Amino acid sequence: MCRPTYFDVTYSINPWMHPDRPTSTQTALSQWKLLFETFAALGHDVHLIEPEPGLPDMVFAANGAIVIDNKVLVARFRHPQRVDESEAFQAWFTTGGWSTVRQAEFINEGEGDFLFTGHEILAGSGFRSDLRAHEEVAEFFGYPVVSLELVDPRFYHLDTALAVLDVGEIMYNPRAFSQRSRAELAERFPDAILAGEADAAAFGLNALSDGVNVVLPQAATGLAAQLRERGYQPVGVELTEMLKSGGSVKCCTLELRR
């Protein structure tokens, strides 16, 4: 994770970002701290990367890389406002004892668009990551990659429209995907939890599951109820300030898989 020390909305690279709308760095810090403390209370080991001035979106650490089996593929961002984040993540992992660390050749926005299910990688395209990055990820990690096309600009990254709950189990917003991708998801995950419009708009799918607990925006009450029915323990947090920049729980959290 990365503290939102420099959090602000000074540019717009997704429909949620409005530079003329007031933001509060202090509120962002308070909400982020509660998320950090939630993970710690659930028994997770949280590592921090230092924020850098001029990179207000660095708090969204999930976009910084993909980390599977001790290998790290560092992001290559589409928008110039975020390009310098890659160097910071490259340096952090290079000094961290990971077996293989390199930057992606093609546009690849890390776990924003690449979600590991345990035996395959679901990969988003349409707004940020390049389709060529899907082939690169498959070759680098040695796992099959399932390409999914996003069609609603509000859900510009895969992790805003879909969350992996456990091996073989996901929740997602069908309306965020193309017809072909909807069919693909329905075939692969026939028992998936489907998000309603209100929960999707609250970024309820920008969630993080450890297989038991699912940390998600507390406004996503419908999803929380569905998760309880499936035997999960939903843990609601408030990240309304982050949503002004188009992010929430998962965006703030990069999963490190040794």
| 3-class state of residue 101 by DSSP | strand
Reported as a single tens digit per residue, the pLDDT across 42-99 is: 999 999 999 999 999 999 999 999 999 999 999 999 999 999 999 999 999 999 989 8
- The residues near 111 (Cβ < 8 Å, ≥ 6 apart) are 62, 63, 65, 66, 159, 250, 254, 255
- The pLDDT of residue 258 is 85
Average pLDDT, the chain: 97
Reported as a single tens digit per residue, the pLDDT across 174-200 is: 999 999 999 999 999 999 999 999 999
Per domain, the residue ranges of the chain are 25-243
Portion of the chain with pLDDT greater than 90, in percent: 99
Contact (Cβ atoms closer than 8 angstroms) between residue 235 and residue 209: no
> The pTM is what?
0.97
- The residues near 201 (Cβ < 8 Å, ≥ 6 apart) are 154
Q: Of 255, 110, 230, 242, whose CA–CA distance to 171 is shortest?
A: 230
- The pLDDT of residue 131 is 97
Instruction: State how far the Cα of 9 lies from the Cα of 18, in Å rounded to an integer.
Output: 7
- The pLDDT of residue 37 is 98
- The pLDDT of residue 67 is 98
Helices then strands, counting H and E runs in the chain, come out as 7, 12
- The pLDDT of residue 9 is 97
The set of catalytic residues is 157, 251
The domain over range 25-243 is classified in CATH as 3.75.10.10? yes
